[in-house]
Structure 1
Amino acid sequence: MSEQLSAQQLSSRLHDPHLVIFDAGMVMPGKTGDYHPGAVIKGAQRFDIKTALADTCSPWPNTLCSAEQFTQQMQLAGVNQDSEVVLYDDQGLFSAARAWWMFKAFGFNNVKVLKGGLPAWRNAEYPVQQGWSESPQRGNFNAQPIAGLFINTEQVLKGIDDEATLLLDARPAGRFSGEASEPREGMRSGHIPNSKNLPYADIIVDGALIDKPELQHKLALLITAPVKNLQFSCGSGITACILALAAYECGYTNLQVYDGSWSEWGARHDLPLG
């Protein structure tokens, strides 16, 4: 079963009392100011990856919040254990995959990503509103963390010399090779040793993942025997989750997202470069 839901499918479920829709959009890297989408899908609430649902004490951006914090925020949003959650962003597919992976990491699986995001919804002329909704009632959601879906630097270090583990980096090719500079100050250039590059933009067309056969082909070129464990990295742990979504859709298992990603690895001079 796909982890993606079409705009038409979502439209047909708008009045389902079990449905909770979240706008997981964010300000794009390199830009300043607050996130203000042009419109919001009817009934959608805010899923704030950068602050309300992040560990703001971490030195690295967008790192995972605690289970207690996630539980509190989802209860305030009216999410119940039997809810169906749909996530989207204003780019089509950028940060919604991060929100999807967060739900998975906290033990909640009835969650989908809107295929094509807000652009697909607006192109179909489905109902929108200005500003986010708020839940009139508290939910009974309870996070049950799944160990290993998000990993730290030490776990990535252990995987470098493990032939059964492969790390895929979602950054553009120039940043992976070190030929292009990093958008964040103080970052070294290059990549994690023994990792491979799969720019997230290479697997997206019109704001959605490319068709599954082509996606499977691209992944199979990179993921060869004896690899059994996949790790994903990017600039700050956001687009790495697009690769996780792609691999999940294609049936791969043992998937892990490096939460600190290059924001941490590139800033720490004690870590090796590829």
Structure 2
Amino acid sequence: MTHHRLFGRLVPVELAAAIVLTAAACFSFVGHAHASDVPGPLVDVDWLKTNLDQPDLVVIDTRGEADGSDPYAEGHIPGAVHAPYPGGWRATRDGVPGQLPELSALEKHIGSLGISGDETVVIVPAASSSSEFSGATRIYWTLKLAGLEHLAILNGGYRVWNADPSTTLATDKPEIVAADFKAQLRPGLLVSSDDVRSHLDDGSTVLLDGRPAEQFKGKDKHPAAKRFGHLPGAVNLDQSVFFDPATGKIVPQTVAASLLPEAAAQSKAEVVSYCNTGHWASMNWFILSEVLGHNNVTLYDDSMVGWTENPDNPVESERSRLDDIKAWWNGNG
């Protein structure tokens, strides 16, 4: 199982062509001022209010239905398009859930939101929890992988917009003119299982596990994972530490930097961010790559669910026979 599955079934020539197109697209942006250039990977309510009427701005509301209610229909940022997560952002492939869709499906989904490639896109989650906010970081990573340049997340999400008395809400759906979006792929933003295997013994790559400590140790696991534990030599950094549940916001940059394990703190460190299915891993990727500006951070989309599909792939675990007995006793064995 390799990740270049994402690109449909691109052969090496096609992949090379995608890289060339990406480079050409990057050069094409030079010298063109963007009407609503984002100040960074996170924007606040004031910035979004100021730029909301810009013609090149696309606001994506990622909130999905919950408990029979439709929060988007009940109220959303004026002009925001609805693209709930995971929705068309993820797919089950080769039996592994939560994977990137085939390239054609991903292009169609992005284009259906009226995105052609040069827009400024602001992603708005509910910001109800770190895991929910990770849906926004995953979408951000996906769009960047597909070649978009002007991206941001509303820090605090819908909850800070709704709490601001100076903002307004809409209940109507905006008219969307679908675009013919063609990805300008950045394959350097993700790694395959083969890539991970090559890093196991090189001693220079940090394998950063974004899951809770109990899963990292092998005391618990994702239901779809075949084995307990973590990638050999991995370092644990639970992504939830970067989210402030009291405000719905990402912690300040200085705080985020202080939370990094020593191995990942160096800006030039090569880091592979992973979790179970690449969801939580996107938060750690976002903090390191986008918030802190580290240059050598990639995401392992298959993560532990995909990795454990292959019985020959090694794992490390602190799980004991007693843990197995406890799980059996509790009906989870």
Which residue is 1:219 aligned to? 260
Task: State yes or no: 1:203 paired with 2:242.
Answer: yes
Which residue is 1:12 aligned to? 50
Larger deviation, residues 84-93 vs 170-179: 84-93
Q: TM-score, normalised by structure 1?
A: 0.87
Which residue is 2:232 aligned to? 193
SS at match of 1:166: strand
Aligned counterpart in structure 2 of residue 3 of structure 1, from 41, 46, 60: 41
The answer on whether the counterparts of 1:7 and 1:114 sit within 8 Å (CA) in structure 2 is: yes
Against the structure 1 CA distance between its residues 25 and 190, is the aligned structure 2 distance closer, same or farther, given a 3 Å change threshold? farther
Query: Where does structure 1 differ by over 6 angstroms across 4 or more consecutive aligned residues?
Result: 32-35
SS at match of 2:241: helix
Which residue is 2:106 aligned to? 70
Aligned counterpart in structure 2 of residue 261 of structure 1, from 296, 303, 325: 303
Identity over aligned pairs, percent: 23
The answer on whether the counterparts of 2:224 and 2:305 sit within 8 Å (CA) in structure 1 is: no
CA shift at 1:84, angstroms?
A: 0.7
Which residue is 2:86 aligned to? 50
Against the structure 1 CA distance between its residues 82 and 185, is the aligned structure 2 distance closer, same or farther, given a 3 Å change threshold? closer
**Root-mean-square deviation (Å):** 2.6
**Counterpart residue type for residue 78 of structure 1:** G
Structure 1: segments with no counterpart, 5+ residues: none
SS at match of 1:128: coil
Which has a greater percent of helix? 2
The answer on whether the counterparts of 1:77 and 1:135 sit within 8 Å (CA) in structure 2 is: no
Q: TM-score, normalised by structure 2?
A: 0.73
Which residue is 1:127 aligned to? 168
**Higher relative contact order, structure no. (Cα contacts within 8 Å, ≥ 6 residues apart):** 1
CA shift at 1:123, angstroms?
A: 1.8
Larger deviation, residues 261-270 vs 80-89: 261-270
Which residue is 2:61 aligned to? 23
Distance 2:266 2:55 in 1: 45
SS at match of 1:82: coil
Q: Which entry has the higher C-alpha Rg, 1 or 2?
A: 2
Deviations 1:67-119 (A, max 9, x none): 32222222221113331100121135221000000011011111111111122
Distance 1:13 1:80 in 2: 19
CA shift at 1:135, angstroms?
A: 3.9
CA shift at 1:252, angstroms?
A: 0.5
Which residue is 1:175 aligned to? 215
Against the structure 1 CA distance between its residues 185 and 150, is the aligned structure 2 distance closer, same or farther, given a 3 Å change threshold? closer
Deviations 1:150-207 (A, max 9, x none): 222111111121222111111111111112x224155422111111111011111132
Structure 2: segments with no counterpart, 5+ residues: 1-38, 317-333
